[in-house]
Structure 1
Amino acid sequence: MKKLLCGLLGLAFLASCSSKKNFHQQNRQIEKSANKQTSGNYTNYTVASYIERFKTIAVKEMNQYGIPASITLAQAILESGTGKSDLAKYANNHFGIKCTSDWKGKGYYKDDDQKDDCFRVYKNPEESFRDHSEFLKRKRYAFLFELDKNDYKGWAVGLKQAGYATNPRYPELLISLIERYGLDRYDRPEGKYEKIQREDKVLADINKNIPNEAKKDRPKDVAPIIAGDNYIVQQGDTLYNISKRFGLTVDELKALNDMTDDTIKIGQALKVKK
C-alpha cells in the first residue's frame, strides 16, 4: 500500500512539473514571437503618449457600445502598467483579461488570483481593446450599459460590483486616473433616444450570448406577460422595445408611469394602456 501511495504521489508530482514546464514553454514561444515581431524594441510609453496612442480606439468603442472612453483608457493604463507589463508587451493584453471556456486563442501564464492563471493573447493592442468591449457584453455587466456613456463614476463603481476586479479600491483608482489626466474629455453625452437605441442593441447582443438553458427571457412566440393594464418587465427589456410592442412612444410610456428617468427593473409592472 505504501509503495502504491508513493507511486501515485510521484505521478502527481511529475504531472505537476510537466504542466508547469508546458506553461513556461508556451510563454517562451509567445515571448519569442513578440520579440521577433518588434525586433525587441518595445514602446516605452509615458502616460501622455499612451493616451495619445489609444484614445481614438477608446472613443470608437464608446460610440459603438456606450462604455465611457475614460473608463476604457483608465482600465488599460492601470491593468497594463501604461503598456509596460509583460502581458501588454508579449500578449498584447492591456486589460488583464483571462482565458475563459469560450476563448479559442493562445494563453500566456502568470501568477495572479491563482498560480499560473491563463491570460488571453492578442495579435495586436487594438484587438485587445475590441475584446475588452466584447468581454463586457455579458449578463453580469449588463446593467452597466444602461448608464449614460459619460457616467465614468457609475461605471467605475459598477465594474467592481460586477466582479471585474478584486481590489476593493478599484473604483477610486480608476476615478483618480480619469480625473488626474482629464480622460473624461474624451467622453460624450448622448441624446435620450440615441441612448435607448444603443441600450436596446447592446442588451439584445448580451441576451444572444447567454446560453439558452440559462436564459429567463420568454420565447418570442409567447404573448407578453400582462397583469390587467400592466406589462411585467422581463430580462432584456428596455423602455424602447416595450413602447414599440404596445404602440407607444417612450415619452408616453414614461408619462403613464410617472417616470423621471429610463430605469426599469425585472418584475416591475408598467402601465401600457392609456
Structure 2
Amino acid sequence: MVKKIFLFLLIATLISCGSSKPTIVTTKKPVGWKYSKPIQNGSSSKVGTQSTSKPMSTNEMTYGYIAQYNSVAMSNMKTYGIPASIILAQGILESGSGQSDLATTANNHFGIKCHNDWTGDKIYKDDDSANECFRKYNQASESYQDHAMVLTGKKRYANLFTLPKGDYKSWAKGLKDAGYATDPRYPEKLISYIETYNLSQYDAKVLGKQMAKEETKVLLQDNFGADESSLYEIQKGDTFYSVSKKFNLTVEELKQKNNLTENTLSIGQKLIVK
C-alpha cells in the first residue's frame, strides 16, 4: 500500500514539472505580407518610395542658361556692339547661371545697382556694403536691355567700344578697368567662362567669321603630318580651354601647335596635342 502511494506521488510530481515548461509563441504573418526593404534616398529612407528627380549640376545649369540667352546676347551685339561672349559670361558670373537670389527675385542678371538715374523698382541686398540698392525688373530680357544701356550710356565705358568686337580678353579687362566690378579677378573669371563654354562662337556668328565645315576639313586634313598618337579628336562639349587643360597646355599653345587663330571647334576635328 505504501509503495502504491509513493508511486502515485512520484507520477504527480513529474507531471507537475512538465507543465512548467514555457510556452513557445509563434507569430503568423498575415496573408499577402511581404518584406519591403527601405530605399535609401539622400539622407532619409522611406519604405516603398524613391525620388526620380535628379538635381541639375552646375555645368548643366550653365549650358541651359547659354541656350536660353545666346539669342538675346547676339541681338544686343548686333545692336549695341557689345560682344555676345562678354554679355553671356557676365550673365553667368553675376547671376550664377540664373540661380542667384538677385536673378530669381528681381530678374537682375548683371548685378546692376540703382544709382541716381534709376526710377524703376528696387530691391535691397548686402553686397560691398550692407543693404545696397539693386534694380528690379519684370523679366530677364529687361535686365539684358538695361545692361546694354548702362555700357553704352555711361562715359566711363566709352573706351570699351574702341576695342575689336572679337577681342573678348581686352573687353574683360576693360570692364574691370572701367569699374564694373571690384573683384580683382573679374577679367580672369569672364575669360574662363568664355573659353570653357566656347562663348566666342556667338561673336563669330555675329561677325560672320565662322568657318564652313568644308573649309575646316581641308585645313585639318593632314594635321601638318602629325603622328596619329599625338592627335586628339574633338568630342561634343569640348572647348579650347577644356582640351588644353586635359593635355597640360595653355589655350595659346594649343592654337599655335595647330596654326589656328579662330576660337571655334568642330566635332570630329583633330588637334595636335603632343
Alignment of 1:85 with 2:100, yes or no, is: yes
Alignment of 1:110 with 2:118, yes or no, is: no
Tell me which of 65, 69, 74 is aligned to 2:84: 69
SS in 2 for 1:102: coil
Q: Give the equivalent residue in structure 2 for 1:122.
A: 137
Which structure features the higher share of helix residues? 1
SS in 2 for 1:118: strand
Tell me which of 150, 161, 177 is aligned to 1:135: 150
SS in 2 for 1:46: helix
Q: Which amino acid aligns with 1:113?
A: D
Q: Give the equivalent residue in structure 2 for 1:57.
A: 72
**Separation of aligned partners in 1, 2:102 and 2:87:** 17
Alignment of 1:150 with 2:191, yes or no, is: no
Q: Give the equivalent residue in structure 2 for 1:175.
A: 191
**Separation of aligned partners in 2, 1:103 and 1:130:** 14
| 1:140-171 C-alpha deviation (Å, 9 max, x unpaired) | 00010111211111100000000000000000
Tell me which of 93, 116, 122 is aligned to 1:101: 116
Q: Give the equivalent residue in structure 2 for 1:164.
A: 180
**Separation of aligned partners in 2, 1:123 and 1:96:** 15
Q: Give the equivalent residue in structure 2 for 1:4.
A: none
Q: Which amino acid aligns with 1:94?
A: H
Residue 47 of structure 1, CA deviation: 0.7
| 1:43-69 C-alpha deviation (Å, 9 max, x unpaired) | x97111100000000000001111110
Contact kept, 8 Å, 1:148 with 1:190, in 2: the verdict is no
Q: Give the equivalent residue in structure 1 for 2:63.
A: 48
Q: TM-score normalized by structure 2?
A: 0.52
Aligned-pair identity in percent equals 58
Q: TM-score normalized by structure 1?
A: 0.52
Contact kept, 8 Å, 1:66 with 1:148, in 2: the verdict is no
Residue 78 of structure 1, CA deviation: 0.3
**Separation of aligned partners in 2, 1:121 and 1:166:** 21
SS in 2 for 1:175: helix
**Separation of aligned partners in 1, 2:75 and 2:145:** 10
**Separation of aligned partners in 1, 2:88 and 2:100:** 15
Between the two proteins, the alignment pairs up a number of residues equal to: 148
Q: Give the equivalent residue in structure 1 for 2:224.
A: none
Residue 113 of structure 1, CA deviation: 1.1
Alignment of 1:184 with 2:206, yes or no, is: no
CA RMSD of aligned residues (A): 1.5
**Separation of aligned partners in 2, 1:190 and 1:109:** 39
Residue 87 of structure 1, CA deviation: 0.6
Q: Which amino acid aligns with 1:84?
A: Q
| 1:53-105 C-alpha deviation (Å, 9 max, x unpaired) | 00000000001111110000000000001101111001000000000111010
Residue 114 of structure 1, CA deviation: 1.0
Off by >6 Å, runs of 4+ in structure 1: none
Query: Structure 1 residues 66 and 175, CA, compared in 2 at 3 Å: closer, same or farther?
Result: same
